[in-house]
Homo-oligomer: A and B are copies of this chain.
Amino acid sequence: MNSRRGNGVTGDGAADIVVGVDLGGTNTSVGIVDEAGKELLHAKFPTHPKESATAFVARLAGVINDLAGRLAPGTSPRGIGIASPAANSLRGTIESPANLGWGTVNLMEMVRMHFTIPVAITNDANAALLGEQTYGAARGMKNVIMLTLGTGLGAGIALDGRLIQGENGAAGEIGHMTVDPGGRVCGCGRRGCVETYVSAQGLRRSVQALLAERLDDSPLRSISFNDLTAESVSRLAEGGDILAMEALTITGAYLGRLIANLAAAFDPEAVVLYGGLVNAGELLLGPARVSFEQHAMNVYRGKMRILESTLNNGEAAVLGAGCLVRELLAGVETA
The answer for the CA separation of A174 and B264 in the assembled complex, in Å, is 6
Interface string of A123-146 (1 = CB under 8 A from B): 000000000000000000011000
Query: Does A189 touch B at the CB level, under 8 Å?
Result: yes
Please report which residues of chain A, range 149-191, place their CB below 8 angstroms from some CB of chain B when the two chains form the complex.
Answer: 155, 157, 159-160, 162, 164-178, 181, 188-190
Residues of B within 8 A of A264 (CB): 173-177
Give the segment of A50-58, A114-122, A293-301, A313-321 that binds chain B. Answer: A293-301
**A299 — nearest CB in chain B belongs to which residue?**
B170
Q: Are A181 and B257 in contact (CB under 8 A)?
A: yes
Give the segment of A7-15, A67-75, A196-204, A265-273 that binds chain B. Answer: A265-273
The answer for the CA separation of A174 and B142 in the assembled complex, in Å, is 21
Q: Are B262 and A265 in contact (CB under 8 A)?
A: yes
Residues of B within 8 A of A257 (CB): 178, 181
The answer for the CA separation of A210 and B166 in the assembled complex, in Å, is 39
Q: Nearest Cβ in chain B — how far from A66, in angstroms?
A: 37
Copies of this chain in its oligomeric complex? 2
Contact surface of A with B, Cβ cutoff 8 Å: 95, 142-143, 155, 157, 159-160, 162, 164-178, 181, 188-190, 257, 260-262, 264-269, 294-295, 297-299
Complex A-B, nearest 7 residue pairs according to Cβ-Cβ distance, in ascending order: A166-B267, A171-B267, A143-B167, A177-B261, A167-B269, A170-B267, A178-B295
Q: List 26 A-B contacts (CB under 8 A).
A: A142-B167, A143-B167, A155-B265, A159-B164, A164-B266, A166-B266, A166-B267, A166-B268, A167-B267, A167-B269, A168-B267, A169-B267, A170-B267, A171-B265, A173-B264, A173-B265, A175-B264, A176-B297, A177-B261, A177-B264, A178-B257, A178-B260, A178-B295, A181-B257, A181-B295, A188-B298
